[in-house]
């Protein structure tokens, strides 16, 4: 019984120590970077290399809290691919959406993501778009920073595009101003 009580007190203390103090308040600005996977149309960071081929992406998302816990967001990303013995191609990605923090600590996102550029034309033959939904948990490391592990699902809005749905597990890093 003492161990159970100690565990409950420890969980409560951890939660209280990590409770945020207005980071998601109306009028605040959000800047975030996320890990991503090798997928067209991401605003995350990634790099992969295998058998002489490589791909990368760099990107950031930003938002403005229009009310407590609700931010409207936009994101931009730039990436490329180089296949063994081939020319390098690049893609530009964009994202627009919203992020809501349930109880100021469980971020839920809904957004529209798209891509354009040489990599898109060579790979897909069309301009892909995805409707994405995600959720996670925000660990606040003070007044200005949080780490947000989460999951995400991107559903393709293109009829002929090969990737009908992409599931992602990622880690986000957010700054609040």
C-alpha to C-alpha distances, 149 to 91, 133, 157, nearest whole angstrom:
26, 14, 26
CATH number assigned to the domain comprising residue 143: 2.40.160.20
Whole-number pLDDT of residue 51: 83
For 14-60, the pLDDT digits (tens) are 444 444 458 999 999 999 998 876 565 678 888 888 888 888 889 99
For 125-163, the pLDDT digits (tens) are 667 888 999 999 999 998 899 999 999 998 888 876 656
Residue 150 lies in a domain: yes
DSSP secondary structure letters along 91-149: EEEEEEEEEEEETTTEEEEEEEEEEESHHHHHHTSS--EEEEEEEE--EE-SSSEEEEE
Determine the structural domain holding residue 140 and report its residue range: 21-176
Residue 110 lies in a domain: yes
Q: What's the total number of domains in the chain?
A: 1
Tell me the whole-structure pTM to 2 decimals.
0.78
Residue 92 lies in a domain: yes
């Amino acid at each position: 019984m003492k161990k159970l009580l100690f565990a409950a007190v420890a969980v409560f203390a951890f939660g209280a120590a990590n409770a945020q103090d207005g980071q998601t308040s109306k009028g605040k600005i959000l800047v975030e970077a996320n890990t991503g996977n090798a997928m067209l149309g991401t605003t995350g960071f990634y790099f992969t290399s295998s058998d002489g081929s490589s791909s990368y992406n760099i990107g950031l998302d930003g938002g403005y809290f229009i009310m407590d816990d609700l931010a409207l967001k936009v994101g931009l990303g730039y990436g490329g691919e180089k296949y063994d013995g081939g020319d390098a191609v690049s893609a530009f990605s964009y994202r627009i959406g919203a992020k809501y923090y349930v109880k100021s600590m469980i971020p839920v996102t809904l957004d529209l993501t798209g891509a354009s550029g040489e990599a898109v034309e060579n790979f897909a033959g069309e301009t892909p778009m995805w409707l994405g939904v995600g959720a996670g948990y925000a660990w606040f490391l003070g007044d200005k920073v949080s780490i947000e592990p989460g999951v995400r699902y991107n559903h393709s809005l293109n009829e002929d595009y090969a990737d009908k749905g992409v599931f992602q597990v990622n880690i986000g890093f957010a700054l609040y101003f």
